[in-house]
């Protein structure tokens, strides 16, 4: 029996068959002479430069032979020379070493299979993410590309991997901005513009993470991207709506479902005379006019909640207690479940409009000089009185009064004197009548007196005589 010593004090290496099998051959060489055994895998020697021993071709010289099936499907074969090692303690050692290596290969193959299974599982999870995950090396070349990235950009994994990430950029100056943000330690999401395969440009939210190796050294970058186009557009709409809300000429008040003020705009503060912090959080009754019954405002809100809006004229109260006419447009806001959450009130001060309407009304139905009703108003009042008299079977009368020689007074004393005369006549006629009677100016020097609800026709003569007596 020929031996060479003991097993080499060399640590079992990590790795698979490429590392373990050469190590096994070195251990054999440390135990027995190299021509006392033959170690091959699928007919190929483990040590490529070594020739098969001569005894291997002579069956009578061959001792023990073992075969081990390795995890990769290959067969490891150990053959011992009969005269050298077979049946010795070294044979048991060689067999044990080979069993050890095969067991390690099996265990590591199981570990590798488990790792591969977990990798497939994680890759499947990443591929099913709606968001895009893009892995890059430190130079910016793409190393990984999930299905979310395929859907977002339109490039397949094979088309993207290996290319520089710049081919996705829509803006030439963006690379420097991203580098500065990343090197500055910023981990917040950044909004950038990206380009799809079809050439369309979209807004993307991107977050970058630094990947490190086992020693903590930078090994790559991971980019997490989402399509932010709708969000950017929504934010733009919100900014626009906020500007419209804030700078609208109409007063706007937002309250919650309980009537507590959530927000007001500048026009509201100007109209009602409050500061913002004095109204937010308070109840909307702050601007209510006490002119109405207690259930008036609740009824308006209830109707707006049912019909989604209420529009009408109201009176509101300013900070100092002054009330004014206002036009209210009240809208209700519901959430996705249909639950009422807020009310939006748009309030306009219509004081000037009401004053204009009053002036137009007076110009249309009243004499500008005397303040008396004119012919048009008298016609309306007479029509109403006739209908009432028919219904109540009452009496009435109309007296026509003319100012004698009025033209001569105008010509001799002037228009101012004539106007003053007409005003004096109007006051005296009015003083001679009851409150329910009407005196109107129907022409330059003509007046009409309407007497309503007379119990006897002769009473009209009494009134006429009183007017003439008091002239």
Q: What is the mean pLDDT of the chain?
A: 82
Helices (H), 338-436: 351-365, 375-392, 406-413, 415-431
Average pLDDT score over residue span 406-422:
84
Q: Which has more pLDDT, 52 or 5?
A: 52
pLDDT digits (tens, 9 = 90+) for 101-144: 888 777 777 777 777 776 666 666 656 666 788 989 988 899 99
- Cβ contact 293:316 at 8 Å: no
Residue 207 has pLDDT above 80, yes or no: yes
Can you give the pLDDT at residue 163?
94
Exposed/middle/buried for residue 307 (C-beta within 10 Å: 0-12, 13-18, 19+): exposed
Reduced to 3 states (helix: H, G, I; strand: E, B; else coil), residue 433 is coil
Q: First vs last Cα of the chain: how many Å apart?
A: 164
Do strands 395-402 and 340-349 pair parallel, antiparallel, or not at all (unpaired)? unpaired
pTM of the model: 0.52
Q: Which has more pLDDT, 79 or 120?
A: 79
Most confident option among 154-168, 169-183, 370-384, 407-421? 154-168
**C-alpha dist (Å) from residue 134 to 18, 229, 243, 389, 470:** 33, 19, 38, 92, 104
Q: Which has more pLDDT, 302 or 185?
A: 302
Question: Which of the four pLDDT bands, split at 50, 70 and 90, describes residue 330?
Answer: very high
CA distance 93 to 7: 9
pLDDT digits (tens, 9 = 90+) for 365-383: 898 888 899 888 888 888 8
Q: How many residues does the chain have?
A: 471
Can you give the pLDDT at residue 260?
92
Question: Which of the four pLDDT bands, split at 50, 70 and 90, describes residue 195?
Answer: very high
- Cβ contact 385:397 at 8 Å: no
Residue 100 has pLDDT above 90, yes or no: no
Tokens of 387: 């209908």
Can you give the pLDDT at residue 4?
43
Can you give the pLDDT at residue 311?
93
Can you give the pLDDT at residue 129?
61
What is the residue whose two structure tokens read 């033209």?
407
Residue 21 has pLDDT above 90, yes or no: no
- Cβ contact 265:249 at 8 Å: no
Residue 392 has pLDDT above 70, yes or no: yes
- Cβ contact 319:273 at 8 Å: yes
Residue 2 has pLDDT above 50, yes or no: no
Question: Which of the four pLDDT bands, split at 50, 70 and 90, describes residue 1?
Answer: very low
Average pLDDT score over residue span 438-461:
85
């Amino acid at each position: 029996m020929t031996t060479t010593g003991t097993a080499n004090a060399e640590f079992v290496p990590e790795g698979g068959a490429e590392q373990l099998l050469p190590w096994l051959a070195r251990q054999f060489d440390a135990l027995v002479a190299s021509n006392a055994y033959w170690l091959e895998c699928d007919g190929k020697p483990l040590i490529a430069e070594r020739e098969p021993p001569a005894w291997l071709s002579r069956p009578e010289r061959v001792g023990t032979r073992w075969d081990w099936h390795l995890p990769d499907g290959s067969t490891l074969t150990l053959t011992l020379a009969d005269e050298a090692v077979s049946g010795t303690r070294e044979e048991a050692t060689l067999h044990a070493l080979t069993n050890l290596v095969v067991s390690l290969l099996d265990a590591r193959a199981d570990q590798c299979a488990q790792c591969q299974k977990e990798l497939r599982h994680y890759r499947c999870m990443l591929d099913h993410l709606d968001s895009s995950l893009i892995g890059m090396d430190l130079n910016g070349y793409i190393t990984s590309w999930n299905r979310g990235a395929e859907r977002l950009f339109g490039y397949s994994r094979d088309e993207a991997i290996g290319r520089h990430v710049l081919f996705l950029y829509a803006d030439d100056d963006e690379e420097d901005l991203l580098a500065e943000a990343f090197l500055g330690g910023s981990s917040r999401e950044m909004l950038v513009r990206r380009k799809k395969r079809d050439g369309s440009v979209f807004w993307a939210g991107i977050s970058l993470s630094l990947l490190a190796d086992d020693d903590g050294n930078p090994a790559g970058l991971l980019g997490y991207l989402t399509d932010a186009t709708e969000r950017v557009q929504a934010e733009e709409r919100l900014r626009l709506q906020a500007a419209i809300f804030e700078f609208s000429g109409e007063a706007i008040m937002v309250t919650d479902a309980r009537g507590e003020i959530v927000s007001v705009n500048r026009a509201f503060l100007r109209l009602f005379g409050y500061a913002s912090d004095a109204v937010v959080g308070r109840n909307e009754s702050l601007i209510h006019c006490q002119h109405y019954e207690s259930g008036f405002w609740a009824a308006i809100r209830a109707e707006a909640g049912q019909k989604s809006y209420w529009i009408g004229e109201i009176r509101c109260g300013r900070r100092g207690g002054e009330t004014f006419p206002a036009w209210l447009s009240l809208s209700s806001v519901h959430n996705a479940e249909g639950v009422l959450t807020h009310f939006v009130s748009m309030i306009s001060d219509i004081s000037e409009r009401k004053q204009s309407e009053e002036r137009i009304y007076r110009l249309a139905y009243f004499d500008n000089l005397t303040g008396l009703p004119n012919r048009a108003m008298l016609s309306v009042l007479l029509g109403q009185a006739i209908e009432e008299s028919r219904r109540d079977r009452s009496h009435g009368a109309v007296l026509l009064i003319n100012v004698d020689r009025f033209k001569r007074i105008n010509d001799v004393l002037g228009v101012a004197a004539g106007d003053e005369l007409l005003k004096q006549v109007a006051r005296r006629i009015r003083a001679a009548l009851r409150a329910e009677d009407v005196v109107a100016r129907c022409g330059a020097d003509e007046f009409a007196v309407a007497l309503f609800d007379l119990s006897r026709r002769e009473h009209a003569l009494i009134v006429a005589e009183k007017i003439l007596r008091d002239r």
